[in-house]
Structure 1
Amino acid sequence: MKKVILFTIITLFIAACSSPKEQYLIKYYQGEFDELGAPSGYLNTKGDTIIPIGKYYYCYTDTIKTMGMVIENKTGKILAIDQNGTELYEVYRFDNGPDELESGLFRIVKNGKIGYADATGKIIIEPQFDCAYPFKGEFAKVADSCETVQEGEHSFWGSERWYQISKDGKPTGK
């Protein structure tokens, strides 16, 4: 019985020592509150500064495991960044913030076109649509050509050629 207990303890010790620590970035900020515009940056798990305060206007994501969102200083664009601080792409702006994850995807922008990425930051559907709504379940409503129609202080997208796509980016025929 003692051998079994000793073997179990040694096995657990080896497993604990040999498993790599999860690497991620943690947001830090100056001031009493973390609010839009509060100077912020990111540290790694060792406490090293990876993204210094002031590099971005604001850091949305509190913990970056694979991808986070920040506001660029000069243009005000919302960008996706990885753990190394590499800028991946522009995130679609919705209601004054980054597009929300819906059905596992959020919208991204490149050269004025809209596409979709997942929560890890991987681009799932390359930007190719002039207008694209969030996914609802397995489908999203998109258009290759559309215009923004102003109605008072609100606006909406108008197109005569809306169609639905599935999560592989292909038209569904619906």
Structure 2
Amino acid sequence: MKGSLALAAIVALFSCTTQPQSEENQGAEYAEITDSSPGDTLFRIPGDAYEMGEDFAYINQKGDTIVPFGRYGLSFTDTITTFGIVIDKSGGNNELIAINPHGQRLYEVFWIDNGPDYLSDGLFRIIRNGKIGYADASGKIVIQPQFTCAYPFEDGRAKVALDCKTVTDMDHFVMESDSWFYVDKMGEKTE
């Protein structure tokens, strides 16, 4: 059994080819999550690339390279079924982004501590065009980005603001607004 797994891994490594991005999606800043089949699943190689700068790629089940080595700086996801979280090092910004199984950018992921926002009450914070929204555990956007500041969901609601500023000290930031309100998981105002 171990020999079969090792052989499969070696075959996958040596049969990697690069998949070009489709012309339809070139130039699009953000892609969307689409229905995927089990054949769309991507696997990170090597599987133990956990540090910034460690080279990795994503391959599909056929062994084709979908996301080539060196494209991203760090991977937070070893297997991508609907989305994965990586650090995009292009432009020197080291953006924390979500990608779909085709390697296309879906949105930026809200930084918290030293990595992506935590799943809280089934949702995590995302960013598009500088505004904060929420996605679910499958990566699907459930509340479109529209808030300047937003806290994680707790007990079915989240504290958000349309006008807000962030104040930063050396290690932390605080969100300040005079017009906080709460939204439910549908994005509707609530008490």
Same fold (TM over 0.5): yes
CA distance in 1, matches of 2:80, 2:155: 26
Cα distance change on mapping 1:79 and 1:151 into 2, 3 Å: closer
Q: Which runs of 5+ in 1 are unaligned?
A: 1-19
Alignment match, 2:136: 118
Task: Answer whether contact 2:131 2:146 (CA < 8 A) is retained.
Answer: yes
Task: Answer whether contact 1:29 1:53 (CA < 8 A) is retained.
Answer: no
Structure 2 residue matching 1:149: 3-state secondary structure: strand
Residue 150 of structure 1: how far off its partner (Å): 3.5
Residue 22 of structure 1: how far off its partner (Å): 4.9
Alignment match, 1:27: 44
Residue 138 of structure 1: how far off its partner (Å): 0.7
Structure 2 residue matching 1:42: 3-state secondary structure: strand
CA distance in 2, matches of 1:108, 1:35: 23
For residues 75-130 of structure 1, the C-alpha deviation after alignment (integer angstroms, 9 at most, x for no partner) is 21111111111211111111121111111111111121100111222111111101
TM-score by length of 1: 0.80
Match of 1:109 among 127, 133, 136: 127
- Figure out how many residues of one structure are paired with residues of the other and give that number: 153
Task: Answer whether contact 1:113 1:129 (CA < 8 A) is retained.
Answer: yes
- Of Structure 1 and Structure 2, which has the larger fraction of its residues in strand? 1
Cα distance change on mapping 1:24 and 1:94 into 2, 3 Å: same
Structure with the larger RCO, 1 or 2 (CA within 8 Å, 6+ apart)? 2
Cα distance change on mapping 1:152 and 1:42 into 2, 3 Å: closer
For residues 16-165 of structure 1, what are the structure 2 equivalents within 5 Å?
A: 22-29=39-46, 34-74=50-90, 75-151=93-169, 153-165=171-183
Task: Answer whether contact 1:130 1:144 (CA < 8 A) is retained.
Answer: yes
CA distance in 1, matches of 2:39, 2:156: 32
Which protein has the larger Cα radius of gyration, Structure 1 or Structure 2? 1
CA distance in 1, matches of 2:64, 2:111: 30
Q: Which runs of 5+ in 2 are unaligned?
A: 1-36
